[in-house]
Amino acid sequence: MDAKSPRKTLLKSQTKASAARRRVDFPAGRTTAERNPVRVLREQLGFNRKNFSRLTGFSERAIAGWEADKPLSDVSRQRVLEMSRLRQALANVMNEDFVGEWLNAPNPAFEGLKPLEVIERGEVDRLWRMIYQLESGMPG
């Protein structure tokens, strides 16, 4: 029985750690709108929930829940973080006020597809390649 006690303790600590990772940590002293990373990213892009849903691949209902401070799963947290990094990388090569508009406009570099549609197709690497080329000065 004593041999199982350390295992139970380990399992409990792993469960607590897993739950802690799922919680969204917000800085103290700010309003919910300022602290909520999903809402902040969506508003930075100027996207409604429908377009943000297309960007992340999660339902509008899930996004509304996250904006109401429901915890993000590890997968959803990773996806939101990836999209936040992409937004920041795009803001480094263009005026950040136009990133959302650019994502939603047809682009000849992507055979007339909107960059948002390229992301929906699972080809976000094409955007990262474009960002790399712009940052490095390589001809496209």
Tens digits of residue pLDDT in 60-101: 999 999 999 999 999 999 999 999 999 999 999 999 999 999
CA distances (Å), origin 109, targets 61, 82, 112: 32, 22, 7
How do residues 103-132 score in pLDDT, each as one tens digit? 999 999 999 999 999 999 999 999 999 999
Stated pTM of the model: 0.73
The C-alpha atoms of residue 20 and residue 26 are separated, in whole angstroms, by 13
